[in-house]
Amino acid sequence: MKPPKVMEHIKPAHIECSKEQIAKIVVMPGDPLRAKYIAEKYLDNYELVSDARNMYVYTGYYKDKKITVMGSGMGMPSMSIYAFELFYFYDVDKIIRVGTCGGLKEEMNVYDIVLANSSYTEANFAYSYNGDPTHIAYPSNNLNKKIKEVAREKSLDLYEGCVMCTEQFGFYSDNEHVLKRVPANTNIIAEEMESFALFHIANSFSKEAAVILTVVDSKFKKDFISILDREKSLDTMITLALDAIIL
């Protein structure tokens, strides 16, 4: 699998900084304000290296390792823009998405952590991107292994399974009819909106990507994490990603 051909004169259209200002490893929340929060709380000597379109990109040091934290925006189109530019123009090697999701298993509670071992979508993203007709994409086994190693060291329980990558916010739509169409052998445990694009683009460049998610709502529960808490109360997932990506 290869990425689409890009015209030679094209430059990044959505990230505005030099190649040297982006680290080889990137932690990527959806919300740019969560990127700001992560940089301010966890990075040393960090710098805002790009704020084009208010998508904040910070580069600094975490435990003496150079790292970039930036937002991806919401949905596969936005994720695809930033993941592509990071891999293609900035030679990034690894991206871990730290996001939120809706739980699709009755036993899940808010603040539980999900590690995606695959991503399923009904969308035609892969076909539009590079002519691939697939509807399932996979993360880096190596990166997922490191995440699980760090989780064990921290005594963190992870739900590991396939996440459904939708084109709309699941709880604002009737997702039951979509779930009924999922192939019978696909065990969907959560839903979000960016994972498939990240995995597919990373694989097209033979780069590494992983997705860690915090459950913030569930169709089985009345608990619902607030907007403010979604921005600033996901530290367990964030430190898991930071510690795993520097290994």
C-alpha distances in Å from residue 133, one per residue of 37, 121, 185, 227, 231: 38, 11, 19, 36, 35
Active-site residue flag, 64:
no
Longest dimension (CA), the chain: 52
102, HSE (Cβ side, Cα atoms, 13 Å): 19
Distance CA 86, CA 191 (A): 24
* List 44, 64, 91, 217, catalytic entry: 217
98 Cβ partners below 8 Å, 6+ apart? 27, 28, 29, 34, 212, 213, 214, 234, 237, 238, 241
Catalytic residues: 217
